[in-house]
Amino acid sequence: MSIFIRCILIILICFSFNRLRAETKIDVDIISSYSQSSPATHILLTAVQELNKHDSEYTYRVVSAPGANGKIAIDKYKANSDSKKQISVLYSDIEILKLNNEDVSKYSNVNLWSYHFYVCVSEKSPIDTFEDLISYLKSNKKQTYFYGLPEGGTSAGVNIITSLKNHYHLDKVEIVKYKTLFDLQSAVLRNEIDFIPQASIPSALQGLKPILSTAKTRSINFSKIPTGKELNIQNFIFSANVSFIFQEKENEVKIKNISKWILNNEVVIDLIQKNGMIPDA
Q: What is the rounded CA–CA span in Å between residue 215 and residue 121?
A: 18
Residue 25 reports pLDDT greater than 80: no
pLDDT given for residue 217 in this prediction: 87
pLDDT given for residue 84 in this prediction: 61
Q: Is 92 helix (H, G, I), strand (E, B) or coil?
A: strand
Q: Is 156 helix (H, G, I), strand (E, B) or coil?
A: helix
Pick from 106, 100, 89: nearest CA to 242:
89
Average confidence (pLDDT) over 230-250 = 91
Q: What is the rounded CA–CA span in Å between residue 139 and residue 171?
A: 11
Residue 264 reports pLDDT greater than 80: yes
Residue 22 reports pLDDT greater than 50: no
Chain CA centroid to CA 212, Å: 20
Residue 14 reports pLDDT greater than 60: no
Residue 82 or residue 224, greater confidence: 224
Other CB atoms within 10 Å distance of the CB of residue 219: 17
What are 183-200's pLDDT values in tens digits?
888 999 999 999 999 988
Residue 181 or residue 82, greater confidence: 181
